[in-house]
Amino acid sequence: MTPDGSRIPYLPERIEGLAPIAMNLSWSWNLDARALFRRIDEPLWHLTRHNPIEMLRRADPARLAGCATDPAYLALYDRVMVAARERAGRASWFSSTLPHLSRQPVAYFCAEFGLHATVPIYSGGLGVLAGDHCKAASDLGVPLVGVGLFYTKGYFDQQLRLDGWQQDGDVRVDPRSTPLERLDGPDGKPYLAVVPTFGRPVHVGAWRIMVGDVPVFLLDTNLEENDPADRDLSGKLYAGGPDLRLRQEWILGVGGVRLLRALGIQPAAWHANEGHAAFMMVERLRELVMGGTALDAAIHEVRARSIFTTHTPVAAGHDNFTKDQIEGCIGPVQETLGLDPERLLRLGQHPDNQDGRFHMTILALRLSHRVNGVSRRHGEVSRQIWHPLWPNRPVERVPIGHVTNGVHLETWMSSRMLRFMERALGTDWVERAGTPGFWEAVERLDDREIWAVHVDMKRGLASYVREETRRRWAERWREAAHVVGAGTLLNPDVFTIGFARRFATYKRASLLFHDFHRLHDLLVNPWRPVQIIFAGKAHPEDGPGKEVLQTIYSFTRDPALEGRVAFIEDYDLHLAHRLVQGVDLWLNLPKVPLEACGTSGMKAALNCVPQLSTLDGWWEEGYNGQNGWAIPVASTDGDVDAQDAERLYSLLEEVVVPLFYTRDERGLPADWIRYMKHALKAAGERFTARRMVQQYVTDSYVQAIGGEAPGDDPPLA
């Protein structure tokens, strides 16, 4: 499909450049490019959920013709086109800093990529982090290529029954409404690689999506050449049981390497983002051994060029499979590796594990020289979890470091906030944001202006909630309780708390309701009322998580709370943007130390929204006493939930809510605005994806590209 062909059937010649802009996701973090599409038809832009391809397909041709003759629109269009050409001609951070490495790509493997709401192949934080990583790599000029799976049925659509029980519906991804482009294989064949698994070949096709200058290749098994049982292998993210998960990870790892080879891409470094991608290391071992390299030398070579990021702070949360499952999936590849089956299995076995299970994270640890957690605390926890692989070292010397996650600034900061920053700090402020001392200027931002921007975003969230409720009421809701529970009674003038997370039990969404009477008094206070917006999905197989969600939903229908609690269905990137931009306080309540990072608070902070959280994940290193509030680590001697709930209520009652409602002679919450500024300053200085990717480059990619081995391998057992 061509961008100006079957997807976008009509564009006037003067603005035909809109098609290639729509076909590259870089528009999504470019203010002027976003405005270019929005100005064509703003209601349609919102109706299509900011999907430029779908909007251009549905736009009135007369309106497009009008844009092609409108001087103001054409001035904006020309500015976008000129800026794109200028960016292409400028030296990047990477090419300027490391000119000798500019042509040696890094392959970045991940099971999910959260790139934009219109490409729903992500479930949560891992995928969104991968998407932000790719965007920052493009901004910096890092020669990165992404590899993942194309889930034709996405993750799942969330619908709540009237009793609050989550129902999981399928969502079918239509490539024609996305910037995905199918890649043809040799001689026009629909596949580029063949991967044997469970006794038969699986043909693997691919789609490419451009994320600025970074191509992301998504593998697809839904081909006629495949056995019907194999066509749905890439159908749905995290669907089915362990057998399907194992086969998906085998396709991702082995098929991903073979795809890159078929495309002539020869990475110099390989980054596995979570253990799901570890089989790409096994495939590279196979290549080397088949090419004549001795096994030990092949292992050394694979290790030297591999980076592994672990995201899971609980040992039980890492994928592991039985010996029979592994042998059935891998099959004859064991022989071509020059390994006997037992030795191959030992690459993934835990030293203390007597049942012979194969752990994907342990495989990645044994075949990677550079390993990191995603926050300082998570690095500490990971060293404790995986210490048995280095039994002769003290825990603090286990070679697992940390690269604290960051979020992509231009993606997560609202358009209103970006425009305000341009007016206050200059149109080139994003380019200067990494210079020392830059963020000190945030403290001098005008209080009145920053508050006006925040109030505008808050009203925008309230409007969005009402319109989404109206749509669902018209389409399928038939009970008034659904409408109330979705937030129609929310008041944009009331102090608003946001809590939007995956509904895993350790994230403790229900902690706010630990003492119902105390929360009731907080919410319905006639002078200083509070309201709470919840959103999030429970994994389809997580029964306890669904029960927590159901409990939360029941409170949205309690008349005693006067409609002050809302739950917004079907949490996705589109809703996430609205929430982190439009609430007053971001709430995060993980049980310490079970949060790996928790980047949602960073996204809120980039919109001047302070956070209240337990001291876990990024907040343990990001909290400075001025950018939000922290719940101290509870004593393990008592009831941890009760201790944390008590501190949470006290902070809200005695500090946070009174601070928000206290106004100065100008009618402004001056002390609250000071927290808002410090939230922005801290996030901008230390927690952006730009900083994160630069750290990966300097600490890991450069050494891996050079094949440098630090020499602290875990024993192979």
Rounded-to-integer distance, Cα 509 and Cα 315, Å? 22
Helix (H, G, I), strand (E, B) or coil at 545: helix
The 10s digit of each residue's pLDDT in 637-650 is 889 999 999 999 99
Cis peptide bond N-terminal to 593, omega within 30: yes
Rounded-to-integer distance, Cα 438 and Cα 424, Å? 13
Q: Are 141 and 92 in contact (CB under 8 A)?
A: yes
Q: Are 409 and 438 in contact (CB under 8 A)?
A: no
Half-sphere exposure of 205 toward its Cβ, with a 13 Å CA cutoff? Answer: 25
Which mean pLDDT values do the consecutive 10-residue runs of the chain (717 residues) have?
59 95 96 96 94 94 96 97 89 91 90 93 91 97 96 80 82 87 89 90 96 97 92 82 90 97 96 96 92 90 96 82 88 70 84 84 95 96 94 94 97 96 94 92 96 96 91 78 85 96 88 95 96 91 88 91 91 93 96 93 98 96 96 86 95 98 96 98 97 97 81 58
User: How confident is the model at residue 334, as a pLDDT?
Assistant: 66
Class for the domain spanning 94-158+167-405+696-705? alpha beta
pTM as predicted: 0.95
Cα of first residue to Cα of last residue in the chain, in angstroms, is 50
User: How confident is the model at residue 494, as a pLDDT?
Assistant: 97
Which residue has tokens 């992509």?
A: 408
Rounded-to-integer distance, Cα 438 and Cα 427, Å? 14
Which residue has tokens 């002390």?
A: 671
Residues 18-52 as b/e (b if ≥16 CB within 10 A, e otherwise) read bbbbbbbbbbbbbbebbebbbebbeebbeebebbb
In 10 A of CB 373, how many CB atoms? 26
Q: Are 270 and 285 in contact (CB under 8 A)?
A: no
Rounded-to-integer distance, Cα 110 and Cα 311, Å? 12
Rounded-to-integer distance, Cα 595 and Cα 206, Å? 34
Which residue has tokens 């895993």?
A: 504
CA-wise closest residue to 119 among 91, 144, 149 = 149
User: Selecting from 1.10.10.920, 3.40.47.10, 2.60.40.10, 3.40.50.2000, what CATH number does the domain 417-427+438-687 have?
Assistant: 3.40.50.2000
User: How confident is the model at residue 711, as a pLDDT?
Assistant: 57
Domain ranges of the chain: 13-90, 94-158+167-405+696-705, 417-427+438-687
Residues whose CB falls within 8 Å of the CB of residue 354, separated by 6 or more in sequence, listed in order: none
Rounded-to-integer distance, Cα 512 and Cα 521, Å? 12
* Amino acid at site 125: G
User: How confident is the model at residue 525, as a pLDDT?
Assistant: 95
Distances (CA, A) of 55 to 37, 65, 178, 243: 8, 15, 11, 40
Distances (CA, A) of 204 to 182, 248, 251, 255, 367: 12, 11, 8, 7, 25
Rounded-to-integer distance, Cα 29 and Cα 212, Å? 10
Query: What does 642-672 look like in DSSP terms, one character per residue?
Result: HHHHHHHHHHIIIIIHHHHH---TTS--HHH
The 10s digit of each residue's pLDDT in 342-398 is 778 888 998 887 678 999 999 999 999 999 999 999 999 999 999 999 998 999 999
User: How confident is the model at residue 94, as a pLDDT?
Assistant: 94
Which residue has tokens 């495949």?
A: 226
532 beta partners:
497, 565
Q: Are 680 and 608 in contact (CB under 8 A)?
A: yes
Query: What does 477-499 look like in DSSP terms, one character per residue?
Result: ---HHHHHHTTTT--TTSEEEEE
Helix (H, G, I), strand (E, B) or coil at 524: coil
